[in-house]
Amino acid sequence: MAEFINGLIANLVFLFERLNWLSVVDLFLVTMIFYGILVLLRGTQAMVLLRGALLLIALIGLLTSLQVLPAFSWLVRTTLPALLFAIPVIFAPEIRRALERLGRAGAFLPPEQTSARSQDTITAIVTAAARLSDRQHGALIVMQRLDVLDEYAESGVRMNARVTPELLLQIFYPNTPLHDGAVIISGARLVAASCVMPLSASGVLVRSPERQMGLRHRAALGISEVSDAVAVVVSEETGSISVVHGGRMIRRLDADRLENILRAFYRPAESRPGLIRFLGRIFPGLAQNEREETI
């Protein structure tokens, strides 16, 4: 035991003697890469796959280290290239999402420009959400930002109308032709209604109290996972108002807090430090945390 401890201390001393500022930068970059990968995969089905893959790799490494299993070692060495090619296939959605976020971060025109029209739109949405909540009429309002949602707008009915509380109340009135599905809002225009949104496969609603929620909340989470859109959901059962962005949900909002959150999303981008703005486009959770602290 003493020899093991002495050997461990000697190895640590050897490592620290060779440590310089370039080694620190190198370790920091590697750490940030792994941290970024884990943030991108957090709350997704890929995290379960990643844990399974790591356990499999550890088990294979342990078995192949045993000299008494030459046939198994040969099999692993033979199939390892095929396993490496399978990784991009398994994690294809997450890789595509990461590249999309990098593309958004490198955009020259920020999506969060404040104007009188966007503020009027937020006021109309908040007013409509409050009335729908009082009446317990379900609703799903998706606010487009930098990512274009034309493919989802094509699944609904094109309207291209000015956003007003009365229009939203009429669309989501029960049993009307357009009340099912989501409305997509771009700027001050209601682009389309009765749109089909992708359902979330992250399992967030299964692991949390939100598991009792229905398809509207799953659709809101789904569109927030594949784009940078902001979704406002009104529950048909309870009338509760929620906001979803970046795969995260803020529940049980009143009209005042809903308005503060939406205005925080669309306040001038220049009012926040450039590094935070850049990282917020790659990791939406960071931007959402920063917004939650301001409301």
**How many folded domains does the chain comprise?**
2
Residue 90 sits in the same domain as residue 140: no
Domain final residue, candidates 54, 84, 105 = 105
What is the pLDDT at residue 107? 47
Question: Is residue 111 in some structural domain?
Answer: no
Is 95 part of any domain? Answer: yes
Same domain assignment for residues 8 and 98? yes
Q: Which of 105, 126, 158 is the last residue of a domain?
A: 105
Boundary-marking domain end, from 73, 105, 137:
105
CATH of the domain at 166: 3.40.1700.10
For the whole model, what pTM was predicted? 0.62
Both 94 and 211 in a single domain?
no
DSSP annotation of 267: S
b vs e for 23-38, b when ≥16 Cβ sit within 10 Å of the residue's Cβ? eeeeeeeeeeeeeeee
| pLDDT value, residue 294 | 44
Q: What is residue 269's predicted lDDT score, i.e. its pLDDT?
A: 46
Task: Assess if residue 204 is contained within a domain.
Answer: yes
DSSP count for the chain of H helices, then E strands: 13, 7
Alpha-carbon distance of 60 to 84, in angstroms, equals: 14
Instruction: Give pLDDT, residue 40.
Output: 66
Q: What is the C-alpha separation between 72 and 66, in angstroms, rounded?
A: 10
86 and 128 housed in the same domain: no
| 196-234 pLDDT tens trace | 999 886 665 655 555 556 889 999 998 988 888 999 999
Listed as ranges, residues in the chain with pLDDT below 70 are 1, 4, 40-50, 52, 63-69, 72, 84, 87, 90-91, 93-117, 201-213, 267-295
Domain assignment of residue 12, given as a range: 2-105
Same domain for 70 and 124, yes or no, is no
pLDDT score at 200: 81
Assess whether 254 and 132 both reside in one domain: yes
